[in-house]
Structure 1
Amino acid sequence: MKFLCTVIVDDDLAASQTEADWAALGKLSWAYDQSLMERGVFVAAEALVGRHAARTVRVRKGQPIITDGPYAESKEVLAGFILVDVADADAAMEIARNIPMATLGAVEVRPVMTF
């Protein structure tokens, strides 16, 4: 079963990090992704550019409405994701609780819908 672990970061916590903190967190994150690859459960992972680069598209009455910024006003924003293929939700939750970026926010875990 595939699960998407979306990494949500608290802007205030992220802003308090030094360059050295980010470098260390990046190394931890890469090492964690590597461990998931070695276990054979890794499908994909990407970090996202900060909220300043986000744009949101809504379509209303057939017309696009494009706004700068993330989809909603919040101090927590989507920062990246890890897509895994594991046996069940418990295995996905185990992976999520060890994602290094969770220290700056949260990780939401959802099963991927199959059609």
Structure 2
Amino acid sequence: MKYVLVISDDGTVPLGHEEIERLPAHVAWMDYMDRAGVTLLGGARLRPGGDSTTVRTRDGQVLISDGPFVETKEQIGGFAMIECDDLDMAVEVASRHPFAAHGAVEVRPVWE
């Protein structure tokens, strides 16, 4: 099955995707997935929520606002799409993601 790991943190890690990929904890996470037979299908580090634009449509009107759509301490900082046997393995992979220790990793199945 395919799962998206939605990675949230408090936005205080000012590192880009390539810098995060070189961190020892991230390298260890990638090595763990290789050993466990989990395939990383893709992923990306997102820019901070303050750089986002939220779009809504109401009664035929397009409403645009700066920033994320909710006020929260945690922001979506990135995502990873994995393929593994089942939800239990996806949860195990998420629990080992370096940002799970100070943020959150939501595991969401991909609708196929």
TM-score range, shorter chain: 0.7 to 0.9
TM-score under structure 2 length normalisation:
0.80
- 5+ residue gaps, structure 2, are none
CA RMSD of aligned residues (A): 2.5
TM-score under structure 1 length normalisation:
0.78
Q: Percent identity?
A: 33
Aligned to 1:56: 54
- Post-superposition CA distance 1:20-57 (Å, at most 9, x none): xxx67851325533653573511111111111211111
Matches within 5 A, 1:1-115: 1-11=1-11, 14=12, 27=23, 28-33=25-30, 35-36=32-33, 39-114=37-112
Structure 1 residues 66 and 30 mapped into 2: Cα distance closer, same or farther (>3 Å)? Answer: farther
More helix by share: 1
Determine if contact 1:25/1:100 at 8 Å carries over to the other structure. no
- 5+ residue gaps, structure 1, are none
Q: How many pairs were matched up?
A: 107
Dislocated runs of 4+, deviation >2 Å:
23-26, 28-40
Letter in 2 for 1:60: R
